[in-house]
Homo-oligomer: A and B are copies of this chain.
């Protein structure tokens, strides 16, 4: 970690950088006063805050090139920022760094319903793409919960997912091409509208690279037709293991539901009084399992899913009978986080992934950990993807609860890695999970990441100290925290 620079030095440095940027940016696209830069001090992981030295909001690609040229020349670290809805601190500013916001690069360049693609600038909101495509009966599939606000550039940086990603894929499966300005000022296009491009697949390595490899100025996305019909099953289970195994059974039967979400009783009871979704709050776990397509396809898939769920031990099956009921079933799931905020002073949201067949085992283990740590954990997650969002409920004002939540979270992540999963599914590493990367990957694997990072950014100017820990950091971290084969403590936000 860098030490804070002396305030006088920082002011002089800011002055130097502002003067270099003024000729290349319009007035209003360059912010340096505290009252102007305050909105940029954190992203959705609001526990970490840092004012940036300066904020640039370029309006076109040439201005992006010019800003990077200045930063390269003066060796100013650059933190790219989309809409600031990220949950892992990926857009956290650096004290003597520049935040490059893509907010003003917000134009839909081209909508092509025949090839079912759209070319958009990075600052365009996720939902705005679907709105623009709607007159053609099309939409952009990945739907993070923040889709009203989050930008496609941020989605590219984080490889964002959503409820429908089981069937329709993550960002990486729905973006065909990105246009990128490198730190050297080169403009390169990665990917292609054609199905496979020659050369190394740098598009895939770029998507999810958390702003470390370049600045996106244009994104070509795939659009898909809006399904004619959709219905959702709510299936009840007597215990979480049977529910978890039922998820594996649905997939093993060759069905890819449009959505396959699971909530345990703690979650459904947390949500129901608040949302009135119609959930079976007696069930130990409920599954929401959606089919979409033509009316015939939906009818057939609902029938097959019902059979599999019953065969897997569902004690009750309810099928949405109309669109209002379908949306009500989903509203409970989508409001789980706000509901947690209503019943518990504090909660800590994890984002681990596990192989689907481990769902039952991991859920039982989490249940056992609840007694060990004396805290409740509500389990709400993208079950079909194996992407869990356990919500550990605690009260930071009760002595010891914060520390116990921290240990509980670390134990869950350790279990995820142990059963073949990962420390983060869709929220990214950012600064929040950077220490856990030392556990997830070997030194050789981290060095492979660094080597690719250096290939794009030899001077480490683009979002340095995010996403990939240095080997030194891991060594220090290991000495401090690893004990008895346990995962080191997660780097928790302060509540």
Contacts and interface: CB of A to CB of B under 8 A. Distances in A.
A353 interface: yes
Interface residues of A, number: 82
A380 to B, nearest CB: 17
Contact of A441 (B199, B254, B446, B447): B199
A466 to B, nearest CB: 11
Given A201-B207, A205-B204, A115 B196 contact: no
A43 interface: no
A197 interface: yes
A342 interface: no
A200 B208 contact: yes
Nearest to A304: B294
Contacts of A52: none
Interface stretch (A96-104, A311-319, A422-430): A422-430
Nearest to A352: B194
Contacts of A453: 200
A386 interface: yes
Contacts of A200: 205, 208-209, 449, 452-453, 468
Interface string A20-58: 000000000000000000000000000000000000000
Nearest to A176: B355
Contacts of A385: 195
B433 A202 contact: no
A100 B196 CA distance: 26
Contacts of A386: 194-195
A336 interface: no
A161 to B, nearest CB: 7
- The CB with the most chain B CB atoms within 10 A, among A182, A207, A445, is that of A445
Contacts of A194: 353-355, 386-387, 420-422, 425
Interface stretch (A66-74, A184-192, A234-242): A184-192
Contacts of A444: 182, 184, 186-188
A295 B452 CA distance: 48
A455 interface: yes
Given A116-B252, A193-B420, A202 B202 contact: no
Nearest to A136: B252
Contacts of A254: 224-225
Contacts of A442: 186, 188
A114 interface: yes
A199 B429 contact: yes
A466 B22 CA distance: 45
A248 interface: yes
A418 to B, nearest CB: 12
Interface in A114-131: 114-116
Given A300-B294, A421-B194, A429-B199, A357 B114 contact: yes
Most buried by B among A170, A194, A423: A194
B201 A208 contact: yes
B455 A454 contact: yes
Contacts of A203: 204
A299 to B, nearest CB: 9
Contacts of A189: 445
A208 B196 contact: yes
Contact of A387 (B161, B195, B204): B195
Nearest to A187: B444
Given A182-B444, A200-B452, 5 more contacts: A159-B196, A188-B444, A195-B386, A205-B452, A297-B300
29 contacts: A115-B248, A115-B356, A165-B195, A184-B444, A186-B442, A186-B447, A188-B448, A189-B445, A190-B445, A192-B420, A194-B354, A194-B386, A194-B422, A195-B386, A196-B387, A196-B426, A198-B424, A199-B446, A199-B449, A200-B453, A202-B205, A202-B448, A202-B449, A225-B253, A448-B455, A451-B455, A451-B456, A452-B452, A454-B455
Interface of A: 113-116, 159, 161, 165, 170, 172-173, 182, 184, 186-190, 192-205, 207-209, 224-225, 248, 251-254, 294, 296-297, 300, 304, 353-357, 385-387, 420-426, 428-429, 433, 437, 440-442, 444-449, 451-456, 467-468
The 7 closest A-B pairs by CB, nearest first: A204-B204, A225-B254, A451-B455, A186-B444, A194-B353, A455-B455, A205-B205
